[in-house]
């Protein structure tokens, strides 16, 4: 009897121990259940459980934020009824757009919110089946809003289509100078395969441009992030000038991960610019010829002076020889030297006039402004003397050299001086024309040509630089238009400045750069 009691007590103790273990396990499971429910309710993703027909059996609190539904409103509703029709067909027909593997589904689709609009969802689903029968029990889904990502991808696709279809030559280059993408225009120009895995940078740029890329562009891009300038690419009929924009794209590190190079064919533009320059040079040449005609009396006066001096010295030498036939030749050195000086002066003036009237290109270079001003004033001086108008010019002694074509700048100054003289005729108070120059900025010199004529009213000022605009009956109206074009071709400008008395034209020119900056590479964009 005692043995049976002991056995019974032992069995009861074992049962109590097992029951305690079971209760502890249940408590742990309850805690885990609360923990997992808390996770499900706290996450921003929508966690849901569905029956085999898609009916909601459970929906987390994220339904409120993502869809506008209270979780209880979704219970009993078929998720398939909220799918966008096109996306539901993909799911039911197992479209390739739906990823499936070993009971896992992943699909990006549109799901209707409570207010009627569709939200882009990406859902990962896991089916749960009866281990014995294989029957589908339920479906667990985790869904997140990917609308921002979808919109970003759509923008990228649109940009990719633009890049692929543009007529510019677009290249993506990695850090090893390997071209890993080229658009259709670049592939057609360079004969590259669609996947240009073996294409190198040296295949798409001329040797000179490749050197600029390596020596100038890549360091500038590494420092500033971008660069723009002119390069050359090989084409079927020779090198093609392109306006290139190089952009750095940085990865996780500080160094650029890869570069994008956008190249625009500017061959037609450069041809048009060259033709425009030729036309401008032809018009400027015609204007110089016309100006030379206006200055004919002044030129004749300038040439007459040395010719008269030569005649006087020669006549004096002949008189001495006639008077004393046996006079030593050494006594004629002085008049012969004077004749030689006048011949040199005459030759210099003829060379200057020939340079002024001949046809040539505008080539800016560092020059001394005073020399050009003196030459222009010398050519106009006789005309001013005949009109009894004083021509005064005032230039500082230490004026820096300017970048200009001397012939073109002289033509501009003569046009302005003759216009000022014409405005001063028949006006007693208009007794002088002034030409002044000064240093107006870090890299700029400005000159002014002022008269005391009738001035220019506001309406005339709007068209003063237009071609064929002239107040003179015999004028072509091209002087100021050509002068402004020449100034702009030299990197400067020409404007009319307002004033209450007469007219003042102001021209600006860039000064010669410091020695360290004489060779300026194509600009970079910080």
Residue-wise pLDDT for 100-112, tens only, equals 677 688 889 999 9
**Mean pLDDT to the nearest integer, 227-244:** 90
Q: Are 415 and 283 in contact (CB under 8 A)?
A: no
Q: How far apart are CA 501 and CA 432, in angstroms?
A: 13
Q: Are 509 and 404 in contact (CB under 8 A)?
A: yes
Q: How far apart are CA 364 and CA 88, in angstroms?
A: 71
Do 501 and 385 sit in the same domain of this protein? Answer: yes
User: What pLDDT shows up at residue 517?
Assistant: 46
Confidence of residue 147 (pLDDT cuts 50, 70, 90): very high
Residue-wise pLDDT for 447-502, tens only, equals 999 998 888 877 777 767 776 555 555 555 567 877 888 888 889 999 998 666 78
Residue 514 has pLDDT above 70, yes or no: yes
The verdict on residue 188 lying in a domain is yes
Do 379 and 493 sit in the same domain of this protein? Answer: yes
Residue 419 has pLDDT above 80, yes or no: yes
The verdict on residue 453 lying in a domain is yes
What's the number of domains the chain is made of?
5
Q: Hunting for tokens 């667990």 — which residue is that? A: 140
Residue 439 has pLDDT above 50, yes or no: yes
* Domain membership of residue 292 as a residue range: 272-361
Q: Are 248 and 221 in contact (CB under 8 A)?
A: yes
Q: Are 261 and 246 in contact (CB under 8 A)?
A: yes
The enclosing H or E element of 525 equals none
User: What pLDDT shows up at residue 378?
Assistant: 82
Do 228 and 289 sit in the same domain of this protein? Answer: no
User: What pLDDT shows up at residue 358?
Assistant: 60
Do 368 and 509 sit in the same domain of this protein? Answer: yes
Do 197 and 277 sit in the same domain of this protein? Answer: no
Rounded to 5 degrees, φ, ψ at 53 are -90, 10
**Mean pLDDT to the nearest integer, 44-62:** 91
Residue-averaged pLDDT of the chain:
81
The verdict on residue 511 lying in a domain is yes
Residue-wise pLDDT for 19-49, tens only, equals 777 877 777 676 676 666 666 666 889 999 9
More confident residue, 514 or 395: 395
Q: Supply 235's token pair.
A: 């084409």
Confidence of residue 525 (pLDDT cuts 50, 70, 90): very low
Q: Are 169 and 186 in contact (CB under 8 A)?
A: yes
Secondary structure, 3-state, 235-258 = ECCEEEEEEEEEEEEECCCCCEEE
The CATH number that applies at residue 114 is 3.30.450.20
**Terminal-to-terminal C-alpha distance of the chain:** 101
Enter the pTM of the model.
0.47
Do 395 and 497 sit in the same domain of this protein? Answer: yes
SS3 397: coil
SS3 295: coil
Q: Which of 179, 182, 171, 232 is nearest to 207 (CA)?
A: 232
Where do runs of H (alpha helix) occur along 425-497? Answer: 458-463, 479-489
Q: Is 66 left (phi over 0), alpha (psi -120 to 50) or beta?
A: alpha
Residue-wise pLDDT for 242-292, tens only, equals 999 999 987 665 566 789 999 999 888 888 777 766 766 666 666 655 555
Residue-wise pLDDT for 348-399, tens only, equals 666 656 665 565 566 788 999 999 999 888 878 877 887 888 999 889 888 8
Which of 209, 236, 265 is where one domain is finished?
265
Share of the chain above pLDDT 70, in %: 78
Q: Which of 226, 171, 225 is nearest to 200 (CA)?
A: 171
Share of the chain above pLDDT 90, in %: 28
The enclosing H or E element of 326 equals none
User: What pLDDT shows up at residue 98?
Assistant: 67
Do 298 and 402 sit in the same domain of this protein? Answer: no
Which of 265, 294, 318 is where one domain is finished?
265
User: Measured over all CA atoms, what is the biggest interatomic distance in the chain, rounded to whole angstroms?
Assistant: 183
Q: Which of 89, 95, 96, 139 is nearest to 110 (CA)?
A: 89
Query: Who's near 497: CB < 8 A, 6+ residues apart?
Result: 448, 504, 505, 506
Residue-wise pLDDT for 78-135, tens only, equals 999 999 998 888 877 776 666 667 768 888 999 999 999 999 999 998 888 888 888 8
User: What pLDDT shows up at residue 457?
Assistant: 78
Q: How far apart are CA 9 and CA 414, in angstroms?
A: 131
Q: Supply 468's token pair.
A: 């064929």
Residue 522 has pLDDT above 50, yes or no: no
């Amino acid at each position: 009897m005692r043995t049976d009691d002991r056995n019974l007590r032992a069995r009861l103790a074992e049962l109590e121990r097992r029951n305690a273990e079971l209760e502890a396990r249940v408590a742990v499971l309850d805690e885990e259940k609360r923990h997992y429910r808390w996770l499900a309710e706290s996450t921003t993703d929508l966690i849901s459980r569905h029956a085999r027909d898609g009916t909601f059996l459970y929906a987390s609190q994220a339904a409120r934020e993502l869809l506008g539904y209270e979780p209880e409103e979704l219970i009993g509703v078929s998720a398939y009824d909220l799918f966008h029709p096109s996306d539901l067909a993909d799911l039911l027909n197992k479209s390739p757009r739906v990823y499936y593997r070993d009971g896992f589904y992943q699909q990006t689709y549109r799901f209707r919110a409570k207010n009627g609009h569709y939200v882009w969802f990406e859902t990962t689903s896991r089916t749960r089946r009866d281990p014995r029968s294989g029957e589908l029990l339920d479906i667990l889904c985790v869904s997140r809003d990917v609308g921002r990502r979808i919109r970003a991808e759509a923008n990228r696709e649109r940009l990719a289509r633009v890049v692929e279809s543009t007529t510019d030559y677009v290249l993506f280059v990695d850090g090893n100078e390997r071209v890993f993408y080229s658009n259709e225009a670049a592939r057609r120009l360079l004969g590259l395969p669609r996947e240009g895995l073996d294409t190198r940078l040296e295949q798409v740029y001329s040797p000179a441009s490749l050197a600029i890329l390596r020596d100038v562009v890549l360091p500038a891009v590494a420092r500033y992030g971008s660069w723009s300038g002119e390069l050359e690419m090989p084409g079927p009929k020779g090198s093609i000038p392109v306006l290139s924009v190089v952009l750095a794209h940085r990865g996780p590190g500080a160094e650029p991960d890869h570069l994008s190079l956008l190249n625009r064919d500017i061959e037609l533009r450069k041809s048009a610019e060259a033709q425009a320059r030729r036309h401008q040079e032809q018009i400027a040449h015609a204007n110089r010829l016309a100006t030379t005609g206006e200055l004919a009396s002044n030129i004749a006066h300038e040439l007459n002076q040395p010719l008269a001096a030569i005649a006087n010295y020669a006549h004096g030498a002949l008189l001495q020889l006639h008077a004393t036939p046996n006079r030593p030749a050494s006594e004629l050195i002085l008049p012969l030297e004077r004749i030689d000086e006048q011949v040199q002066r005459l030759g210099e003036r003829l060379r200057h006039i020939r340079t002024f009237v001949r046809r040539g290109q505008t080539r800016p270079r560092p020059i001394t402004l005073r020399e050009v001003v003196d030459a222009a004033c010398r050519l106009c001086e006789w005309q001013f003397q005949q009109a009894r108008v004083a021509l005064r010019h005032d230039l500082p002694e230490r004026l820096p050299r300017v970048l200009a074509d001397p012939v073109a700048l002289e033509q501009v100054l003569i046009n302005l001086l003759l216009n000022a003289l014409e405005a001063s005729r028949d006006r007693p108070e208009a007794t002088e024309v002034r030409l002044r120059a000064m240093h107006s900025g870090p890299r700029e010199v400005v000159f002014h040509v002022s008269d005391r004529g009738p001035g220019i009213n506001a309406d005339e000022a709007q068209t003063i630089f237009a071609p064929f605009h002239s107040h003179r009956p015999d004028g072509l109206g091209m002087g100021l238009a050509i002068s402004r074009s020449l100034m702009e071709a030299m990197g400067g400008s020409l404007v009319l400045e307002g004033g209450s008395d007469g007219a003042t034209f102001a021209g600006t020119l860039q000064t010669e750069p410091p020695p360290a900056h004489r060779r300026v590479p194509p600009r970079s964009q910080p």
